[in-house]
Amino acid sequence: MFILVTYDVDTQSETGAKRLRKVAKECLNYGHRVQNSVFECVLSEAQFLIFKSKIMKIIDYDLDSIRFYFLGKNRSNRVECLGRETSIDVNSELII
């Protein structure tokens, strides 16, 4: 599944800044950053449930907002970018 994660974490308090770091870290564990608070992931159903449960333990439900968008199996015709390109096509071969 191709999943987009977007978040707004309230960083006005020190605990908020800590939550932000933790949320970003988990998102990096499961996907790659394409914009400041936007991540693209390719996950199985099981991986997504584990990822989501970790995020649920971090956030403040009154202050923070996390959104998961389910974009189907095929990323290629789902996204169009203008300007600075920051994402790698997770489905393409990585040549090192």
Q: Which residues fall in the annotated binding site for Mg(2+)?
A: 8
The residue (of 70 and 93) whose beta carbon lies closer to a second copy is 70
- Residues 30, 40: Cα–Cα separation, whole Å: 9
User: Which of 56, 90 has the CB closer to a second copy?
Assistant: 56
Structural contact between residues 39 and 5, judged by C-beta atoms closer than 8 angstroms: yes
Nearer to a second copy, 46 or 70 (CB): 70
Helix (H, G, I), strand (E, B) or coil at 3: strand
- Whole-number Cα distances in Å, 79 to 17, 32, 40, 74, 76: 30, 15, 11, 10, 7
Q: Which of residues 5-64 bind a second copy (CB under 8 A)?
A: 6-8, 34-38, 52, 55-56, 59-64
Of the residues 14, 73, 74, 84, which one makes contact with a second copy according to CB under 8 A: 84
At 81, the amino acid letter reads C
Q: Which residues bind a second copy (CB under 8 A)?
A: 4, 6-8, 34-38, 52, 55-56, 59-72, 77-87
